[in-house]
C-alpha cells in the first residue's frame, strides 16, 4: 500500500483513484478548478493549473509545449494533457510565485546555452508579464515557444537577446511588429532544471568485476 501511495505521488494522482478507479484522478488543491470534460483536451494559454498535494510539499504544475494546431496550420503553445511537473512548494515560495500562476515549458534549441541547456524544463510565472530589463521570459511568437532575455525599447518596442550570442544575434521589434508577429509574453522564468547532456568518454575500457 505504501508503494502504491509513492507511485500516486510521482504521477500526481490520488492513490484511491489509482487503486480502484474511483474518485478524483488528481489531488484537489485549494484553488484548483473542478475537473471538466474540456480538461482532457489540449488547452491554449493562458489556462493555468497547479495542484498542491495535501500529503507532501510538492506542487503538480501543468506542462505546456508547442503542438501542431488542430487545423494543421503551424503550431500553438498549449497544455499537454495528463503531463505535470512536480516542484517543491518551497521553490515557488522563494520566488514569490503563487501555484495557480506557475506553468512549466521545455527549453527548445541551443539559443540559451550555456545558461539553459536544450531539453531543460523551465517554470514560469504567468502573472509577471511586465518586462524587467535583463530578465528571462517565455514568449510565444506565431505559435513558436521562445525563451529569451527581454528588454523594453522606446515606443513600446522590444529587444530579445539569447545567451548564445555567437549564433543568435539580438532581435529588435517595434510595437507594430510585435502585433503583426503575434509576440506575446507568457511569463517570467523563475526556475529551470539542469542537464548535462554531454556524457564523458571513457579513455580506456573498464574491466568487468
Cα(99)–Cα(17) distance, integer angstroms: 23
| Residues contacting 39, CB < 8 A, separation 6+ | 33, 81
For the chain, domains (ranges, CATH) are 1-29 (no CATH), 42-192 (2.10.109.10)
pTM: 0.72
As a whole number of angstroms, the distance between CA 197 and CA 106 comes to: 15
**Contact partners, residue 26, CB within 8 Å, separation at least 6:** 12, 13, 14, 32, 35, 51, 60
Dihedral, 41, 44, 48, 54 alpha carbons, nearest 10: 20
| Lowest-confidence region among 36-40, 130-134, 137-141, 175-179 | 36-40
The pLDDT of residue 99 is 95
Identify any residues that bridge with 31 across adjacent strands, giving them in sequence order: none
Task: Note the pLDDT tens digit of each residue in 141-150.
Answer: 999 999 999 9
Continuous segment of H or E residues that includes residue 141: strand 135-141
Amino acid at each position: 500500500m505504501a508503494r502504491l501511495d509513492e507511485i500516486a505521488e510521482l504521477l500526481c494522482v490520488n492513490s484511491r483513484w489509482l487503486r480502484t478507479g474511483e474518485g478524483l484522478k488528481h489531488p484537489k488543491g485549494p484553488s484548483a478548478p473542478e475537473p471538466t470534460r474540456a480538461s482532457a483536451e489540449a488547452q491554449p494559454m493562458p489556462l493555468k493549473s497547479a495542484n498542491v498535494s495535501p500529503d507532501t510539499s510538492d506542487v503538480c504544475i501543468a506542462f505546456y509545449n508547442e503542438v501542431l494546431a488542430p487545423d494543421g496550420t503551424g503550431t500553438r503553445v498549449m497544455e499537454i494533457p495528463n503531463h505535470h511537473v512536480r516542484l517543491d512548494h518551497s521553490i515557488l515560495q522563494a520566488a514569490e510565485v503563487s501555484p495557480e500562476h506557475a506553468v512549466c515549458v521545455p527549453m527548445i534549441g541551443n539559443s540559451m546555452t550555456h545558461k539553459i541547456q536544450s531539453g531543460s524544463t523551465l517554470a514560469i510565472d504567468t502573472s509577471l508579464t511586465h518586462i524587467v530589463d535583463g530578465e528571462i521570459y517565455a514568449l510565444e511568437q506565431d505559435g513558436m515557444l521562445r525563451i529569451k532575455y527581454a528588454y523594453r525599447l522606446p515606443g513600446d518596442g522590444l529587444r530579445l537577446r539569447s545567451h548564445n550570442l555567437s549564433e543568435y544575434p539580438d532581435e529588435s521589434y517595434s510595437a507594430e511588429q510585435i502585433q503583426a508577429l503575434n509576440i506575446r509574453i507568457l511569463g517570467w522564468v523563475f526556475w529551470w532544471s539542469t542537464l548535462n547532456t554531454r556524457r564523458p568518454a571513457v579513455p580506456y575500457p573498464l574491466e568487468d568485476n
